[in-house]
Amino acid sequence: MHPPTRPARDHQKKMLRAHNLADYAKVIMKQMTNAEKTGQTGCSTPGNVPRILLCGVFGPFGVDDEYGRKENLMELYHNQVTRIQGPASLRFHHRSFGLYFIAANIDADTTILDFPSRKRFIREIQKGYGIIGISFITPNFSKAREMARLIRLHAPKATIILGGHGAAIEGIEELIDCDHVARGDGIRWMREYLGQDTGTPIVHPILPCSEYGRIFGIPIPGATPSVLVPGLGCVNGCHFCCTSHFFEKAYIPFFRTGKELFEVADRIAKIRRTQEFSIMDENFLKDTTRATELLAEMERRQRWFKFYISSSAEGIMAFGIDNMVRLGVSFVWIGFESQNTEALFIKNSGIDAVQLVRDLRDRGISVLGSTMLCMEHHTPGNITADIEFAVGLQTDLVQFMLYTGMPMTQLYQDHKERGLLNANVPFEEWHGQNMLNWHHPSIPNDQAKKWLDHAFRRDFEVNSSSIYRMIETAFRGYRWLEAMPSRDACLEARYRQLRKRAQMYSQLLPVIARHAVNDTERQRALSLDVERRRIFGPVSAKERFVRLGAKLLAARWDMRVRLFGDRIQPATIVTRNRISKVRPQKP
């Protein structure tokens, strides 16, 4: 999408500021009075830090309206991974984690407003904040622009700061009425802006990975994994990767050693009372030294954490799959991207992807494999081969995404320089699940989603639901560890964890059989349930009760989806951080 010309941007900005001018005039005096009462002047000089509001974009999400599109759901898995799997789709809501890290690492009274409605956002910004930050991604451009307009209307003395991946949009300062744009490391940017020490050690907030966890409408038992962020960015610099380019192809470590990371995980685990962590790191195993130190510290302290990670195939091979078992990795997200690895993706060069996935799953590690469709070499005649490649990997989950150059990735720059960006595609469609934002030489834009839907459907029908595959992986890992002639303390702990996981999630097998996509999945689920009885014995009275409840909840969810659709709006979360509650006050 070509950015507007300078005159067009000036006109847009003038129109934005003129919007609802009469209403603006009516509230201006009221806001000035409120600001005077609360002492918020918008000043960011040291010793006079105003109250700060950090916001995610407003809902509703996943609907077609003037601000968004139905394909852009506020659910990672149901949006990009399991969205065609019906009631078996994994349903999770994830917070705007970056806002909580910023709030925990600046000396200011800060409120985080996540998943607000438009009305709730208006109500909050009227409370006299001196600084209001908006975090957004490119598809939520129109929401961020409307939020900025509302701030100028209802809180005219507030300073507006834009952040998140959407801040990479070219000319964003002209397209959205704001005062500053924070790009890259948000913690460092805010500390510098507030005149605070950028070298202060990072304070890791204590956060759940998700707020909502359902499969077949059945709540996932137990506490959700905690979020653990070792650092930002990735040095691999894949030409399409937003994260790598947003942090200028560098890695910014929050914790440099495995011991430091262990201490943070230990503190969080004791407070949240769960040993499971979702590691938010683009390529966690890239730093093999830190991961090895973390494993050594866990073994020394006899603390058997479990991790959900992302890593490149090269990182996995360097660290070792057996070491991943010992580390407690139960889930790994790998970017396979395309079978054409030699020319396009060095990170996968020389690696047998099929064998890698098989080895991981045989050890009880579920795999999410990412694949891109409608790349430049794809034609209607050869794209099926890449789809079959992804399906043939037999990963637990598959993410299919349209090849999309986001601002300011290398792919975006390349498409721009070659005149391939499609000016007719609004930012709301830049989410990779509906249409291309560039002119493909062989695939018309109205055909892109058809290939995407075909790929998701093909994987579902051939490999069955992702939840079935994840249960099967748990059994495969259990068999592998059980067959060992001896196990040390670490492997014994992993054996017990896999046994518990296989036993717990196998209670869903009758539900999977009832809602199976085809007879193949039905027979797979029934056969695995027979094996479950052989391993763990007859189903107990308690388990029969759990299974009955699961069937009832799944039937209820299926009916709800049929009658009302499957859109789930996340609940608004308001978190108020006071300096004294985040860190000790300086004398």
pLDDT tens column, 494-525 = 999 999 999 999 999 999 999 999 999 999 99
**Nearest CA among 204, 337, 215, 223 for reference residue 279:** 204
For the cut 80, the answer to whether the pLDDT of residue 87 exceeds it is yes
For the cut 80, the answer to whether the pLDDT of residue 47 exceeds it is no
**Could you say which of 463, 493, 521 is where a domain stops?**
463
Rounded to whole angstroms, how far apart are CA atoms 408 and 388?
31
Three-class SS state of 275: coil
**Amino acid 212: pLDDT:** 86
Do 456 and 503 belong to one domain?
no
Q: Is the sign of the CA dihedral 40, 43, 48, 52 positive or negative?
A: positive
Do 451 and 499 belong to one domain?
no
For the cut 80, the answer to whether the pLDDT of residue 37 exceeds it is no
Do 39 and 110 belong to one domain?
yes
**Distance set, CA 227 to CA 97, 194, 268 (Å):** 9, 26, 9
At 343, is the pLDDT very low, low, confident or very high (cuts 50, 70, 90)?
low
Q: What is the mean pLDDT of residues 36-55?
A: 61
Inside any domain, residue 561: no
Do 440 and 492 belong to one domain?
no
For the cut 70, the answer to whether the pLDDT of residue 444 exceeds it is yes
Inside any domain, residue 231: yes
Inside any domain, residue 468: no
Order of strands, sheet of 212-215, starting from the edge strand that comes earlier in the sequence: 90-93, 212-215, 218-219
Inside any domain, residue 544: no
**Nearest CA among 356, 359, 337 for reference residue 347:** 337
Inside any domain, residue 430: yes
Q: What is the mean pLDDT of residues 15-37?
A: 38
Residues 213-256 have pLDDT tens digits of: 899 999 988 889 999 999 999 988 888 888 888 888 899 999 99
Range of the domain at 325: 225-463
Do 167 and 314 belong to one domain?
no
**Distance set, CA 48 to CA 42, 65, 161, 196, 576 (Å):** 9, 41, 18, 11, 19
Angle of helix 141-154 relative to helix 21-38, nearest 10 degrees, comes to: 70
Q: Which amino acid is located at 539 in the chain?
A: V
Number of domains in the chain: 3
